[in-house]
Amino acid sequence: MANQQKKSAQRQGFKTGEYIVYPAHGVGQIVTIEDQEVAGHKLELFVIDFQKDKMRLKVPVAKATTIGMRKLSETDYVDRALKVVQGRARVKRTMWSRRAQEYDAKINSGDLISISEVVRDLYRAENQPEQSYSERQLYEAALDRMAREIAAVNRVSETEAVRLIEVNLAKGPRRGAKADNEETEKEEAA
């Protein structure tokens, strides 16, 4: 019995009780590490809870890193992601369906910087044109993923994390009166 207790403590650098990022689902918590027999093979599995989605995932310990499961980002990486959302939106001149696929791939990459790029590119200020339904869906998915990780790293609520992201988005170019001045400058330069 003592062996079983020790066994569930740590595997592949991950330990029970720890928050992790799973690429396709975002931030989850390792509840336990269990043994399960599948088709005659003994498998060691991380049992991960995604509380917001009311979902439990079992991931083979041996495959965890190859499928992209990782520890939460360091605080300096979170700061870099917040700097990214302050930048100018980079929108390719390709069809929306192609861009939507690229945004979706970035969101599901599990990489905080890639996710913050989607937040930056799809953000709309109050004075900007309305987004399409699919744009808004992708924006909200990216914002949610980013906020969950920042909340876990900074140990704040998701609401506070969203507020922090929005404050940084507001620091970016083309927000409000500044956008009008830029447009005027472009016209004068032309």
Catalogue all structural domains in the chain, each as residue range(s) with its CATH number.
2-71 (2.40.10.170), 75-180 (1.20.58.1290)
**Residue 84 is which amino acid?**
V
| Band of residue 175 on the pLDDT scale cut at 50, 70, 90 | low
- Looking at residue 6, its pLDDT comes to 42
Whether residue 181 is predicted with pLDDT greater than 50 in this model: the reply is: no
Mean pLDDT of 36-40: 89
pTM: 0.83
Dump pLDDT digits (tens) for 135-174.
999 999 999 999 999 999 999 999 999 999 999 999 998 6
- Looking at residue 179, its pLDDT comes to 44
Q: What string of DSSP letters covers 86-134?
A: HS-----SS-HHHHHHHHHHHHTT--HHHHHHHHHHH---TTSPPPPHH
